[in-house]
Amino acid sequence: MWQFLTSGGPVMFLLVLASIVGVALIIERGLALRRAKVIPPHLQTAIENCRTPADLPRLAQTCHSSPSPLARLALTAQDNLKEPKTDTVDLIETQARQEVVKLERGLVILEIVVGIGPLLGLVGTIHGLIILFGELGKVGLTDNTRLAAGIAIALNATLMGLMVAIPSLVAWSYYSKKVENLAVEMEGLLDKFLRQQYRLKN
């Protein structure tokens, strides 16, 4: 493994760094975007069962005991029920955008890893080929085996770049879609909650 890294040139160590960053973000976002952490089941049940003003204190207590994006949005909705519905919806939408930004934290770095992985690999390969052909220009092509081995070593960087980018791309696509789905689900829950509460007021 060490020989594989050193033979690819200095770019290989940048790729190793990118892979460490990518793996760390994949694990961190995987833990942060668990559905139970974003939309706790008992909080979802409390929102669905909050049908009268008498249920609001119990919902607030559940929100405070279950800190999560959904809890913060539900508290925003509950704290502004005295306002006109359009104003409350606008406040929730503003808060929701902030929560989505928090959920997407780190995904932009993962996207950067996806982009720079193959490019760094290509840089490493070109660097290796320049060195290889520079040496061949001095001593001449006397051994085809040596040429093939040199090209194979130069391609190590391309292979490493793809190995870094592919898992990062899969994770980035999956997490981006997951954030979108969670946001839609929270929007649906809060929309039903507001409809029920304002129907009672009217």
Q: Coil, helix or strand for 67?
A: coil
Q: How many domains does the chain have?
A: 1
Cα 77–chain centre separation: 27
- Residue 3 pLDDT greater than 80, yes or no: no
Confidence of residue 191 (pLDDT cuts 50, 70, 90): very high
Nearest to 76 by CA among 58, 88, 66: 88
More confident residue, 83 or 172: 172
Give the tokens for residue 185: 């689900």
- Residue 182 pLDDT greater than 90, yes or no: yes
Q: What is the pTM of this model?
A: 0.84
Q: What is the 3-state secondary structure (H, E, C) of 122-144?
A: HHHHHHHHHHHHHHHHHHCCCCH
Nearest to 11 by CA among 172, 155, 167: 155
The residue assigned the tokens 């490019």 is: 119
User: How far apart (Å, rounded) are the C-alpha atoms in residues 39 and 69?
Assistant: 7
Could you tell me the CA-to-CA distances from 127 to 9, 81, 98, 133, 157 in Å, in that order? 8, 63, 44, 10, 10
Q: What percent of the chain has pLDDT over 70?
A: 87
Predicted confidence (pLDDT) per residue in 22-71, tens digit: 999 999 999 999 999 999 999 999 999 888 888 889 999 999 998 999 99
pLDDT score for 141: 60
Predicted confidence (pLDDT) per residue in 117-128, tens digit: 999 888 888 877
User: How far apart (Å, rounded) are the C-alpha atoms in residues 115 and 156?
Assistant: 18
User: How far apart (Å, rounded) are the C-alpha atoms in residues 166 and 90?
Assistant: 39
User: How far apart (Å, rounded) are the C-alpha atoms in residues 91 and 80?
Assistant: 8
Range of the domain at 45: 2-201
Confidence of residue 13 (pLDDT cuts 50, 70, 90): confident
Predicted confidence (pLDDT) per residue in 129-172, tens digit: 887 777 666 666 666 666 666 777 778 888 889 999 999 999 99
User: How far apart (Å, rounded) are the C-alpha atoms in residues 96 and 98?
Assistant: 5
